[in-house]
Amino acid sequence: MRPMKIIFRAFAVGSMVAACWLVFEQPSSAHAVLLEATPSANSRIQGPDVTIKLRFNSRIDPDRSRLTLALPDGTTRKLQLQTQNSPDTLTSQVTGLKAGTYDLRWQVLAIDGHITRGELFFEVR
């Protein structure tokens, strides 16, 4: 009985590892991941007008994606997305930014139907 028990345990652990791999690895292959950002994370840039550009690893549905900017005073501003020059990139032009720290939040819908979100901080001087 003992060897059978060990074999069963090994099988159970192996199945769990396989299940985790399916849950965590498989869907992420087409999720939108941020590859490049302007302004880059934690950078200091010159205001008051800033061009925002986010490039992802997959095509983005601009109608179901949004950029929000949290201002130094704590309020948020929904950013107007520009017409896409490239299907994997979102751009926006922001004007009138005063000195301070800004939090750019993005939420995007990738072609596989999954939404991903993230944020990055930058400083306007």
> Interface with Cu ion includes 31 (CB under 5 A)?
yes
Q: Which of 36, 49, 112, 119 binds Cu ion (CB under 5 A)?
A: 112
Closer CB to Cu ion, residue 27 or residue 87? 27
> Interface with Cu ion includes 61 (CB under 5 A)?
no
Q: Exposure string (b/e) for 78-112, b if CB count within 10 Å is 16 or more?
A: ebebeeeeeebbbbbebeebeeeebebebebbbee
Torsion of CA 109, 77, 40, 64, to 10 degrees: 10
Q: Is 60 exposed, middle or buried (0-12, 13-18, 19+ CB in 10 A)?
A: buried
Looking at 44-52, 63-71, 77-85, 104-112, which segment touches Cu ion (CB under 5 A)?
A: 104-112
> Interface with Cu ion includes 81 (CB under 5 A)?
no
> Interface with Cu ion includes 111 (CB under 5 A)?
no
Q: Which of 53, 66, 114, 118 binds Cu ion (CB under 5 A)?
A: 114
Q: Which residues bind Cu ion (CB under 5 A)?
A: 27, 30-31, 112, 114
